[in-house]
Amino acid sequence: MKVIKRPPLAIRMIRGIKALPWWGSALLAVAVALALRYPLTHHYWYLPPTYPPLIQWANYYLWLGLHYGQYVLPGALLAVALRAWFKGRAHTHLVNRVARSGLGSPLLTLSWQEFEALVSGYFYQRGFTATLTGGSTDGGIDITLRRGSETHFVQCKHWRANRVPVTVIRELYGVMSAEGAAGGFVVTSGEFTRDALAFAIGRNIELIDGQKLLRHIQQRQRQTIPI
């Protein structure tokens, strides 16, 4: 089995912030602004000339970092929150467009990028915080889902002809085990082989084929339409 190397702490922190819902990033921005503002207003920063130059230098640059940091860091977090809000609305709009489509197979008209965005919006409506990774993470994970303290991984297969084989499910299960994920999903616009369906049983992996995905999207759309 391929050994999954964990990324550095800084990378994991950045990914964690990007995975927050928009309101989570906004609240974090407020908390960071208050935390950096407090020492600026409750600490006496002046040092008399009798202090060594090194202490004077450290004191000045610490004040300088806090002074500009109270604006830069919260501003960056608010930008992340705004980006998450717009992305969530765009993905939800795509889900609604597919649900209302009069085409017999609307999934087949989507590009692979649109298909991943559709799947992200689908899980967003299911109560998850969805982060698109585009398969850039180890193990080819396309979407990382978070709900509470649990993490789930998603692989998207926008295959029109071939069925998704069992090797894809095994690969996802290996990444789940290495990362301690609570569960996983493989979503395809097509179908799965029998071996893939059998392997997923009892491993907290849900397989969603094209018909099932479209049926769930349309059912959820009907539930949101007022009577």
Here the CATH number for the domain that contains residue 199 is 3.40.1350.10
Tally of domains within the chain = 2
Q: What would the two tokens of residue 101 be?
A: 């489509």
> What is the span of the domain harbouring residue 216?
101-224
84 and 110 part of one domain:
no
106 and 171 part of one domain:
yes
Per-residue model confidence (pLDDT) at position 227: 39
**Close Cβ partners of 84 (under 8 Å, ≥ 6 residues apart):** 18, 20, 21, 22, 25
pLDDT tens string for the chain (227 positions)? 445 566 677 777 777 777 777 788 899 999 999 999 999 988 888 888 889 999 999 999 999 999 999 999 999 999 988 887 887 777 777 777 777 665 556 787 788 888 998 998 889 888 888 888 865 555 679 999 988 889 999 999 987 667 899 999 999 999 999 989 999 999 998 899 999 999 999 999 999 998 898 888 888 666 655 43
61 and 144 part of one domain:
no
Residue 1 covered by a domain = no
154 and 82 part of one domain:
no
118 and 206 part of one domain:
yes
pTM value is 0.65
Alpha helices in 47-165, H assignment, sequence order: 53-100, 112-125
Of 51, 71, 90, which one is at a domain's C-terminal end? 90
Residue 144 covered by a domain = yes
Q: For residues 166 and 179, is the Cβ–Cβ distance under 8 A? A: no
Per-residue model confidence (pLDDT) at position 37: 93
Of 39, 63, 90, which one is at a domain's C-terminal end? 90
d(CA 169, CA 186): 7
Residue 204 covered by a domain = yes
d(CA 72, CA 15): 19
